[in-house]
Chains A and B, each alone.
Chain A
Amino acid sequence: MLTRLPWWLAALVLLGIWAAISALASSDYRVILAAVARGLGVTLSVSLVAYTASLLLGLGLGLFRTSPLRVAREAATFYVELVRGLPMLVILYYIAFVGAPALAAALNAALKPLIDRGLATPVETRNLGFAARAVIALTLGYSAFIAEIFRAGIESVDRGQVEAALALGLSRGQVMRTIVLPQATRNVLPALANEFIAIIKDSALVSALGVQDITQLGKVYAASTFKFFETYNAVAFFYLCLTVSLSLLVRAMERRLKAGGSR
C-alpha cells in the first residue's frame, strides 16, 4: 500500500498543509494572501479567454497544416514556425508596443469613411487595454502550439477509416467532421489540457505589461514591504493550487482514455 501511494502527491499535499498552517498562524500571511488573491480573477480570465481563442485559431491552423491545398499548408507552417521560434515574452512586447498601434491604425483606416462623417470616433492605442493586448499575444503564441497538437491528432487517425468513409460517398468535409476530428480530438485531449496548464503559468508574463494578475500584485506587494519570501510563497501557492489540481484531472482523463481504448 505504502509503495503504491504517489509520494510526489503526498509531499505536495504536506506542503499545502504547511502553507495553510503558516497562513493561519501569522497575520502577515493572511494580509499577503488577501492582497495577492485580488489578481486571481485576472489570471484566470486572461488564461481562459486566451486558451479558448487559441483553441479555435489552433484548430483552424491545424486543419490548414493537413490540408491537401499547398497554399494553405505552407501559410500555416510559416505562421507556426515563426511564432514558435519566438519567446513568449517577446511576442507579448511585440503585440503590446508594435502590434496594438498597428491594429489601431488599421481599424482607423478601415473606419475612415465613418470617422470623416463623424459617425465614429478614431480608436486610440491607449484605449486598447494592456490586458487585451496580453490576451491577443498569448492567443497568437499558443495557437501555434495547439495547431501542432491538432495536426498530430489528425495524422494519428487511421487512414483506412478515411478511405472507407470516402468510399461510402462522403465528401472530404464530411469525413473531416464525422470521422477524423472526433477521433483526433479524443486522442489529443490530454495534450490540449496540458496546454491550459501551460497557459496559466505563462499568463504570469502579463505582469511585464503591468496587468494586475497574481504575479504583478505579488511583485508590487513584495517591493513595498520587502517581504519577498512570504509574498512569493503566496504567489506560488495560488499557481500550484490551479496547476496541480488540473494536472491530476489530466491524469484521470488519460487513464480513462487508455481504459476505453482509443482505437
Chain B
Amino acid sequence: MSAFIEIRGARRVFRASGERRGMADTIALDGIDLDVETGEVVVIIGPSGSGKSTLLRVVNRLERLDEGEIRIEGELVTSPRADLRRLREEVGMVFQSFNLFSHLCVLDNLTLAPRLVRGLTRGEAETRALSILKRVGLADKAARYPRELSGGQQQRAAIARALAMEPKALLFDEPTSALDPEMIREVLDVMKGLAAEGMTMLVVSHEMGFAREAADRVVFMDEGRVVESGSPEELFGHPREARTRAFLQHVL
C-alpha cells in the first residue's frame, strides 16, 4: 500500500529572468523525498525561504516541478496530462492570507465549488455548508462578507470552504502567520479537531505548540532540503542535526 502523498526527488528552481532578472537563481526545492500516509498529520517547519510553501504549492500544482515526481493515491500528478481539477477536488488548500472570495458572502464562498465542481444543487450545497460552518463556530456568520469578519474568523471560513469539497487531504500554508496572537488559538483548535478526526494533513507552520500536540511527524526543512524528520518527541526532544538544533534554539 503506497502513501497518500508520495514526493520523490522534487526540485524547483526559480530562474533569474523576466522580472527577476539580475538576481541569482533560487533553488526552492533541492531534491525532496516525503511521504504522507492516509490519516497522517505532517507538520513542516523551517526558516523562511527554506522552500516549505513551494513544496505545498507543487503538491496541488499551483507551482510546477522542474524535476521529480509527485503521486497522490498512486496517481502521477506531475505529468503534463494529469487531471489537475480532479487532484484539486480531492486535496484542499488553506492559505496564509485566507483568500476568501471578497464579493461573495461566507455561505456562497462555501457553496461555489461544490456546486460548480461537484455538481451539487444549491440546496444540497447550502445544507452541507451550514453544517460545516457550525463545526468551525461560524454558523451565525453565513450571510456576512469576508471584510466583516476578523482574521481568525476569515481563516476558519477558509478552512470551512476547503472542507465543503469533502477533500481527502488538506494542505495548510502558514495558516496562522497573518493573524493577531489572540486569534491564532481559534484557528489551531479547528485544525486540531480535524487532525483528531483523522484528516490527512500537510501543514507548514511556525506554531511549534501545534506541531508538538497535533503532528504525527515533524519535518525540518532548510535550503530546499529535508534536514530531518521524526515524531515530535524525537525532533523537539533530541534533534540529531546541528542545523535543526540551531533553528529550534532560535524559535523555542
Contact = CB atoms under 8 A, between A and B. Distances in A.
Contacts of A183: 102-103
Contacts of B3: none
Contacts of A186: 103
A166 B116 contact: no
Contacts of A164: 93, 95, 99-101, 158, 161
Given A160-B99, A164-B95, A183-B102, A170 B147 contact: no
B102 A163 contact: no
A174 interface: yes
B62 A169 contact: no
B112 A178 contact: yes
Nearest to A160: B99
Q: Is the interface of A mostly helix, strand, loop or mixed?
A: helix
Interface residues of A, number: 21
Interface in A89-122: none
Contact of A165 (B86, B92, B101, B158): B101
B128 to A, nearest CB: 14
Interface string B68-84: 00000000000000000
Nearest to A262: B102
A168 interface: yes
Q: Among B86, B93, B102, B147, which residue has the most Cβ atoms of chain A within 10 A?
A: B102
B13 interface: no
B54 to A, nearest CB: 13
Contacts of A22: none
Interface string B93-119: 101010111110000000011001100
Nearest to B114: A168
A69 interface: no
Which interface class (under 10, 10 to 19, 20 to 34, 35 or more) fits B?
20 to 34
A52 interface: no
Nearest to A175: B116
A164 B113 CA distance: 10
A161 B101 contact: yes
Interface in A131-170: 158, 160-161, 163-170
A182 B112 CA distance: 14
B89 interface: yes
Given A182-B103, A183-B103, A186-B103, A166 B95 contact: no
A179 B99 CA distance: 11
A163 B103 CA distance: 16
B200 interface: no
Nearest to B91: A167
Contacts of A168: 88-89, 92, 112-113, 117, 161-162, 165
Q: Among A163, A171, A261, which residue has the most Cβ atoms of chain B within 10 A?
A: A163
Nearest to A261: B147
Contact of B116 (A163, A167, A178, A182): A178
A167 B61 CA distance: 9
B102 A170 contact: no
A126 interface: no
A263 interface: yes
Contacts of B161: 164, 168
A166 B62 CA distance: 8
Interface in B42-65: 60, 62
Interface string A238-263: 00000000000000000000000111
26 contacts: A158-B99, A161-B99, A163-B99, A164-B93, A164-B161, A165-B112, A167-B62, A168-B88, A168-B112, A168-B113, A168-B117, A168-B161, A168-B165, A169-B85, A169-B86, A169-B89, A169-B117, A170-B112, A174-B116, A178-B112, A179-B101, A179-B103, A182-B103, A183-B103, A262-B102, A263-B102
Given A164-B95, A170-B113, 10 more contacts: A160-B95, A164-B99, A164-B158, A168-B162, A169-B86, A169-B89, A169-B165, A170-B116, A170-B117, A179-B103
